[in-house]
């Protein structure tokens, strides 16, 4: 595989991971605002953070270009999540 194809794949996977990350974040906020506490709020938070650390750790082992590309995809997911949040607010 060429560097461009690896970077494109990393960006796409970063977008998917980011969409999942921000969906779990939204769900955690909903649980917290409903008055839930304890394990029901802590578990998704720890899972979300651990998943992001594992994902970016794996992409860092592939090199700088895949890491930056996956982070760009992750930031694109953040932009989409913010757009959805503003529209529903």
Question: What pLDDT is recorded for position 53?
Answer: 97
Question: What pLDDT is recorded for position 30?
Answer: 92
d(CA 5, CA 18): 20
Q: Count up the domains in the chain and report the number.
A: 1
Q: Which pLDDT tens digit goes with each residue over 11-47?
A: 999 999 999 999 999 999 999 999 888 888 999 999 9
| Phi, psi values for residue 38, rounded to 5° | 75, -140
Three-class secondary structure of residue 89 per DSSP: coil
For residue 89, what pLDDT band results from cuts at 50, 70 and 90? confident
Range of the domain at 9: 3-88
Is the full-model pTM beyond 0.95? no
Q: Which pLDDT tens digit goes with each residue over 42-77?
A: 999 999 999 999 999 999 999 999 999 999 999 999
């Amino acid at each position: 595989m060429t560097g461009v194809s690896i970077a494109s794949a990393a960006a796409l996977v970063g977008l998917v991971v980011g969409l999942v990350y921000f969906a779990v974040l939204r769900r955690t906020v909903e649980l917290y605002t409903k008055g839930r506490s304890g394990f029901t709020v802590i578990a998704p938070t720890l899972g979300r953070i651990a998943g992001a650390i594992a994902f970016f750790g794996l992409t860092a082992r592939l090199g700088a270009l895949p890491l930056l590309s996956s982070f760009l995809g992750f930031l694109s997911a953040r932009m989409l999540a913010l757009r959805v949040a503003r529209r529903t607010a």
